[in-house]
């Protein structure tokens, strides 16, 4: 009996670990392999939360919307809300109103999964202050990792370092702690880039490469001006997930640095626009093009 329990705990660990590393199908497979009869109620919720979040990461929103019932608890309702927010543009305002109501409820707002989901939605909205408020009191590794991401996004590397220190004090060998350490190292630059590269490499060797880890290796290689190496990592990442926007963005940058033919770069840009037209990189490119056209017209005779 103890052996079976240990196996179940290992599978729960593998499920979450796969999710954090971006191996979403692996996370789903692990979750579906754990029978509910082997789990306590809290562990069932934990399993389902990360399985459904993995479906969301794959863009399979309808599975989540269909399977999570209105009678589900707050953690799963939060996951369903994220699927609602991401599924259709017209659903976003409804999701944001619902989220505001839930976060105003003192009891509901203390749910750690709701805090993460709320921070994620605000992060997607570009409301980094709102995202920070959702998790600033979190003591979970995932909440702290979210804070690291937020601080890096607003160029507060000093604050990101503080949150990273808290993560390392909690568990310096946890996957999330190692990932956050690599993110901070990239932001710091210089000799820290090689440290980040080594971290991504070690995680790949230990758990297998994923699109997320390959992108990490590629970003480090770009900083180190090893463009051919970066391209190889990114092409491997595309083999694992051909519709990952971050891989395409990094590949475009890599091709530009390698002075690849413009038609090849344009092809990747068009693919990115098709897959993720609202991606910040696409929006930034559109703004730059609009600004150029406006300035060009001002000089037209």
**Which pLDDT value is given to residue 301?**
54
**Which pLDDT value is given to residue 6?**
62
**Which pLDDT value is given to residue 1?**
44
Pairwise CA distance, residues 128 & 174, whole Å: 25
Pairwise CA distance, residues 38 & 84, whole Å: 30
**Which pLDDT value is given to residue 262?**
95
> What CATH superfamily is the domain 206-301?
Tetratricopeptide repeat domain (1.25.40.10)
Query: What single DSSP character describes residue 89?
Result: G
pLDDT, mean of each 10-residue run, the chain (301 residues)? 64 96 97 90 94 96 96 95 92 92 88 95 95 92 97 97 96 97 97 97 97 98 97 97 94 96 94 87 79 70 54
- Helices 175-188, 141-153: crossing angle, 10 deg rounding: 10
Backbone angle region of 117, left / alpha / beta, with phi > 0 → left and psi within -120 to 50 → alpha: alpha
Where do the domains of the chain lie?
A: 206-301
Q: Label each residue of 204-271 as H, E or C.
A: HHHHCCCHHHHHHHHHHHHHCCCHHHHHHHHHHHHHHCCCCHHHHHHHHHHHHHCCCCHHHHHHHHHH
**Which pLDDT value is given to residue 90?**
86
**Which pLDDT value is given to residue 76?**
97
**Which pLDDT value is given to residue 300?**
62
Contacts of residue 197, Cβ cutoff 8 Å, sequence gap at least 6: 217, 220, 221, 224
**Exposed, middle or buried by CB within 10 Å (0-12, 13-18, 19+), for 170?**
middle
**Which pLDDT value is given to residue 150?**
97
């Amino acid at each position: 009996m103890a052996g079976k329990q240990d196996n179940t705990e290992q599978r729960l660990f593998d499920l979450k670990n796969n999710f954090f590393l971006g191996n979403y199908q692996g996370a789903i497979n692990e979750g579906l392999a754990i029978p509910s009869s082997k789990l306590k109620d809290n562990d069932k919720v934990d399993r389902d939360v990360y399985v459904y979040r993995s479906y969301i990461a794959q863009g399979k929103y309808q599975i989540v919307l269909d399977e999570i019932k209105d009678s589900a608890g707050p953690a799963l309702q939060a996951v369903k809300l994220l699927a609602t927010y991401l599924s259709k543009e017209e659903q976003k305002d409804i999701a944001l109103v619902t989220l505001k109501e839930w976060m105003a409820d003192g009891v509901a707002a203390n749910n750690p999964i709701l805090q993460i989901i709320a921070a994620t939605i605000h992060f997607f909205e570009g409301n980094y202050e709102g995202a920070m408020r959702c998790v600033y009191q979190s003591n979970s590794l995932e909440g702290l990792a979210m804070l690291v991401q937020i601080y890096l996004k607003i160029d507060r590397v000093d604050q990101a370092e503080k949150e990273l220190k808290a993560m390392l004090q909690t568990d310096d060998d946890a996957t999330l702690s190692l990932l956050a350490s690599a993110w901070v190292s990239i932001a710091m630059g210089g000799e820290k880039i090689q440290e980040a590269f080594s971290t991504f490499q070690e995680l790949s060797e230990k758990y297998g490469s994923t699109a997320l880890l390959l992108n990490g290796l590629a970003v480090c290689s770009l900083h180190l001006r090893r463009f051919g190496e970066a391209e190889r990592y990114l092409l491997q990442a595309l083999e694992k997930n051909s519709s990952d926007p971050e891989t395409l963005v990094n590949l475009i940058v890599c091709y530009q640095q390698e002075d690849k033919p413009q038609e090849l770069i344009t092809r990747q840009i068009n693919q990115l626009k098709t897959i993720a037209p609202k991606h910040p990189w696409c929006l930034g490119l559109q703004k730059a093009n609009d600004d150029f056209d406006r300035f060009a017209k001002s000089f037209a005779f």
